[in-house]
Amino acid sequence: MRSDHDPHAVNFLIDEAGPDPRAGHVRADMPGIVWNGGMAAIALIAGPFLLSPSAAALFVVTTGAALLLGHSVGYHRMMIHGSFRAPRWLTRTLVWFGAFVGMAGPYGIIRAHDTRDWAQRQADCHPFLRHGTTILRDAWWQIYCRLDLDRPPRFDFAEIDRDPFYRWLEATWRWQQIPVALIFFAIGGWGWVVWGVAARVAVATHGHWLVGHLAHNRGPQHWTVDAHGVQAFDVPWAAIPTMGEAWHNNHHAYPGSARIGLHPGQSDWGYAVIRLFERLGLASDVRTPATMGRRDGLSRVGRAARWRSPALPRAARR
């Protein structure tokens, strides 16, 4: 569970002997195929015929709001890593925006994130968990399949179980798109539905995979984490679309930090929003590397250099 003593911990996974991140089977995931593939098909087939200036603007605004408030600030930095605290009404609002992204409910996103986080900290893990295969196979695996580990880790969700809102959102996260679609249809017709729902969800799910694949295979590095079998890389071109999440090498170095863009010139809109909340009295206990202190086992790369994973030992790929 979340640890106030270790801001770098994998918060919801039970730390115990027995789970194995290496042995498992990748299987086609029918709900993922229908949901992710269906949204992409609608966007690709209907999108060009229904594109208008207002639909394009809606796509940009809703995608940006979902990725900023939902995926980056709500789900990732607040709920998963506990990098800041907020009032209950704001917490629920940000978590709803996380579901609005269209990738998973709160329990599902925690399981997916923390399983991968835990596995990459081991000496070796399944290639599914380290994005350690070809780009096309990895796209199929990550977007349309699931990994069933032979000995998966267990989770303790007591912290979020206390609020029934999380359980309701987990059960209904796909259905959350329906009232949004109805509102969009009433205002802008089918063009707004296709671009404000289907295209937005398709770009979020497929873009999340692409940035994740690159961030575990190639790019600049400032840090390595000793004893971790998988290291991370930054994806500079994706810094703005991901609201700062693409500085993934920094995130692996300080996973509990609300600030991910740590170096000069590294855009981090997610942290800017958290700082705004803090100034308004809506966020507290905001964690940064400056407040968390030195992390044991963290080594600075002498010079930020560009590496490609094939040059690294297999266990070090990410």
Determine the pLDDT at residue 316.
33
pLDDT digits (tens, 9 = 90+) for 19-69: 999 999 999 999 999 999 999 999 999 999 999 999 999 999 999 999 999
Q: How far apart are CA 11 and CA 147, in angstroms?
A: 21
> CA angle, 115 as apex, 114 and 116 as ends, to 5°?
90
The verdict on residue 1 lying in a domain is no
**Residue-averaged pLDDT of the chain:** 93
What pLDDT was estimated at residue 139? 98
- pLDDT-derived band at 295, boundaries 50, 70, 90: confident
Is residue 172 one of the residues assigned to a domain? yes
Question: With pLDDT > 90 as the criterion, what percentage of the chain qualifies?
Answer: 88
Helices 88-100 & 106-120 angle (0-180, nearest 10):
80
**Residue 194 belongs to some domain of the structure:** yes
pLDDT of residue 9: 86
Domain assignment of residue 264, yes or no: yes
Q: Kindly state whether residue 14 falls inside one of the protein's structural domains.
A: no
Q: How many structural domains are present in the chain?
A: 1
* Beta carbons of 145 and 29 less than 8 angstroms apart: yes
Does 15 map to a domain? no
Find out whether 70 and 91 touch, Cβ atoms under 8 Å: no
Burial of 220 (0-12, 13-18, 19+ CB in 10 A): middle
In this prediction, residue 111 carries a pLDDT of 97
The mean per-residue pLDDT over the stretch 287-305 comes to 82
Residue 184 confidence class, pLDDT cut points 50, 70, 90: very high
With residue 292 as reference, give the H or E element that holds it. helix 289-292
Structural domain span for residue 38: 20-316
pLDDT-based confidence at 318, cuts 50/70/90?
A: very low
**Is residue 305 pLDDT above 70, yes or no?**
no
292 within some domain: yes
How far apart CA 302 and CA 299 sit, in angstroms, is 9
What Rg do the C-alpha atoms of the chain give, in angstroms?
19
Residues 71-81 pLDDT 10s: 999 999 999 99
pTM recorded for the entire structure: 0.91
C-alpha pair distances (Å), 236 with each of 239, 297, 313: 5, 25, 24
**What does the pLDDT read at residue 303?**
54
Distance CA 25, CA 32 (A): 16
Lowest-pLDDT choice from 4-8, 89-93, 158-162, 209-213: 4-8
pLDDT confidence of 317, banded at 50, 70, 90?
very low
Grade residue 4 by pLDDT with cuts at 50, 70 and 90: low
Name 170's Cβ contacts closer than 8 Å, sequence gap at least 6: 105, 106, 107, 108
Mean pLDDT of 294-301: 87
What's the half-sphere exposure (Cβ side, CA atoms, 13 Å) at 15? 10
Within-domain flag for 6: no
Residue 120 has pLDDT above 60, yes or no: yes
